Amino acid sequence: MQFHSPFEGAWADPETIHTILTGEWRLQRPVTREARCSHCGLCFLFCPNGCVRDRGRHFEADLDFCKGCGLCARVCPVAAVVMVEEEGA
């Protein structure tokens, strides 16, 4: 019998937690055109997954967790975020 957890139930140490990369579910990915980004932070506030990161002068999605819902592109007042089809495996 091969076990992966030292616990009896769904407890986990945050250091070794079994993490699900929700980015694997994505069909489209958001791409931030850095030059157009006004750093207003609306995408950061609206992201339902909480996966938009502040890169200093612009915001962009953490693609490990971004599910590609497109809300960041929809709320961007300067159209800096565009959705691009995922291709390949």
Partner 1 sequence: MTTATDLRVMDGNKAAAMGVLLCRPDLVASYPISPQTPLLEALYRASAEGRLDAETVEVEGENSALSAAIGAVAAGGRAFTATSSMGLMFMYDAYLFAAGQRVPVVMTVATREQTAPHTVSSGQQDIMMVKEGGWIQIVTESCQEILDSILVAYRLAEDPKIQLPVNVAYDGYYLSHLSEAVRVPEQAAVDRFLAPVGQGKRPVLSAAAPLTFGAFITGDLYTEYRYKHCQALQSALDLVDALDGEFLAAFGREYGGSVETYRAEDAEILMVGMGSHCGTLQVAVDALRAQGVSVGVARLRMFRPFPRARLAALMRGRKAVGVLDRSVCFGWGSGHLFVDVKAAAADLGGAIPMVNFIGGLAGADLRREMLERAVRATAARARGDQGPEVVWLNLE
88 binds partner 1 (CB under 8 A): no
Chain positions 23 to 62 lying near partner 1, rule: CB under 8 A, are none
How many alpha carbons fall within 13 Å on the CB side of residue 4? 5
Stretch touching partner 1 by CB under 8 A, among 8-16, 31-39, 59-67, 75-83: 8-16
85 binds partner 1 (CB under 8 A): no
Stretch touching partner 1 by CB under 8 A, among 7-15, 32-40, 42-50, 69-77: 7-15
8 binds partner 1 (CB under 8 A): yes
Radius of gyration for the alpha carbons in the chain, expressed in angstroms and rounded: 17
The helix or strand, by DSSP H or E, that contains position 25, with its residue range, turns out to be none
Interatomic CA distance for residues 83 and 29, integer angstroms:
5
